[in-house]
Copies of this chain bind each other. A is one copy, B any other.
Amino acid sequence: MISSTAEYALRAIVHLATYRRESETSQHIAEKTKVPPGYMSKVLQDLARAGIVNSQRGPKGGFTLAREPEEITILDVMTAVDPIRRIRTCPLGLPQHGTRLCALHQRLDDAMAYIEDLFANSRISDLMKPSRAGTRCLFPTVERRPAREAAGGRSPPRRTRK
């Protein structure tokens, strides 16, 4: 349902967002995200074309994030490498239907619209936080927190408005 291409691109972006170092080679990013190197190279080219990463050539070349993690959504990344294909016209090509979708195609498109909206509202910065299970993307460690706190953030609750 979510393609490997999209998932690999998200891994690469979360990696670049987490380290924010000097430019990194495609080979290095592939290794850290456990993606086949040839596949990662193609994904990074698509991300560069979409302006999500910067690509620099030369011996010290490589890839860096082109925008802040708060300014990149999951949908931006997916759209760059493997866009969600909404159903705009009758897939059977019935000329009488055209853009008037039947119940089947309307239901399928409604599902895709929901996902599109969900991912348009999910920022890369959201993915850099520990999950509710206490794990961080790409880090082989688990935050040790009591189960009842696991759903919240890492910081203690703010008390500014008490």
Contacts and interface: CB of A to CB of B under 8 A. Distances in A.
A102 B104 CA distance: 34
In the complex this chain forms, how many copies of it are found? 2
Given A84-B1, A102-B138, A133-B101, A122 B93 contact: no
B112 A2 contact: yes
Contacts of A14: 104
A107 B122 contact: yes
Contact of A115 (B1, B101, B138): B1
A138 B100 contact: no
Contacts of A112: 1-2
A90 to B, nearest CB: 8
18 contacts: A1-B1, A1-B2, A2-B108, A2-B111, A10-B104, A14-B104, A33-B92, A34-B92, A74-B107, A95-B140, A96-B142, A97-B142, A99-B133, A101-B131, A102-B137, A103-B130, A106-B131, A107-B127
Interface of A: 1-2, 7, 10-11, 14, 33-34, 74, 84-85, 90-97, 99-108, 111-112, 114-115, 118-119, 122, 126-142
